[in-house]
Amino acid sequence: MTTQTSTPATAGRNGASGDAPIVEVKDLKLYFPVTAGFILQRKVADVKAVDGISFDIRRGETLGLVGESGCGKSTTGRAILQLYRPTAGEVKFEGQDLTKVKGGALRRYRRKMQMIFQDPYASLDPRMSVGRIISEPLAIHGLAKGPARKQRVQELLRVVGLNPAFASRFPHEFSGGQRQRIGIARALAVEPDFIVCDEPVSALDVSIQAQIINLLEELQEEFGLTYLFIAHDLSVVRHISDRVAVMYLGHIMELTDRAELYENPQHPYTKALLSAVPIPDPELERTRERIILHGDVPSPLHPPSGCVFNTRCPIAVEECRERLPEWRDLGNGHWVACHRV
């Protein structure tokens, strides 16, 4: 049984509600099998990394996906791009269900979908020059050759705020922020419509984080990009996102407009996350209620019955332990999965 069989409506930065979404995720599941035995391996259980989630992303908007480490955020992003093939559910891109597309047809769709990875130190091949790293997608998709490819690489370096002369250098010669700019240039090389940003600033210093976030916003405005922005820092997500989805143990707990989420959170898990975000005003910081969640996040190998949050929820009742909550709209596109709301 899953919670999210309905698909939340979306609204982008321009507030429009009539445009068809560019990405539609419906009842997405991704289970990793656990096997036993050295020779004849047999499946004994499943790690339920993503367990029946649904949402849309409208063209030109940024959907923030937040939650604790290990809740399935990055796995969701990779499943949308078909880097992990989903166990069940649908992932539609421009109306085409990618779970049913294979081979060359899937490669053509991947030109429209790219990813910016979390670790700028591990995501760039140290044996390749910056020029080769950025031009590799152009070669794979046959988009440019010879002088045209070199010119395109220099143009991309300028777009992300780097000197075009850096094309001959290697990743170890750059700082973390510069490496992430190279990763962004690589993602932009094939002129995608949709980019999964997998915690693109979590490995960077705070001052550099702001520069990268501003760059992503400028690129979105210039090229009409659509983002799925994955992060665990709620203040960063608030700055860049149009809407925010809160994830816990493979399920989405709440999804709404960013202003609504921060001003009127409904799910107890969302409230707990927001209570941990520091407020710069000392007076408000002293007076606000702090919600402490006791215990650890359960294993996705053996998730709790009923609502997956019931083992840590401060307002859980017997119904929460027995029955999975429905994914329902509270009005104005504010979706939540909780019996008590």
In the chain, where the domains are located: 21-36+44-266
The confidence band for 50, taking pLDDT boundaries of 50, 70 and 90, is: very high
Helix (H) or strand (E) holding 115: strand 113-116
* 231 and 216 Cβ atoms separated by less than 8 Å: no
Predicted confidence at residue 11, as pLDDT, reads: 41
- Average pLDDT for 297-311: 92
| pLDDT digit string, tens, across residues 9-40 | 444 443 334 467 999 999 999 999 998 887 77
Q: Top-level CATH class of 21-36+44-266? A: alpha beta
Higher pLDDT, 13 or 196: 196
Of the ranges 72-86, 178-192, 196-210, which one carries the lowest mean pLDDT score?
196-210
| pLDDT digit string, tens, across residues 112-131 | 999 999 998 899 999 999 99
* 99 and 27 Cβ atoms separated by less than 8 Å: no
Predicted confidence at residue 285, as pLDDT, reads: 66
Using CA atoms, how far apart are residues 172 and 179, in angstroms rounded to an integer?
9
- Average pLDDT for 73-98: 95
Report residue 242 as tokens: 């149009």
Percent of the chain residues topping a pLDDT of 90 = 71
Mean pLDDT of the chain: 89
State the amino acid at position 214 in one-letter form.
N
The confidence band for 4, taking pLDDT boundaries of 50, 70 and 90, is: low
Using CA atoms, how far apart are residues 195 and 306, in angstroms rounded to an integer?
34
Using CA atoms, how far apart are residues 132 and 125, in angstroms rounded to an integer?
10
In angstroms, what CA-CA distances link 281 with 106, 150, 234? 50, 50, 17
Predicted confidence at residue 323, as pLDDT, reads: 93
Predicted confidence at residue 10, as pLDDT, reads: 44
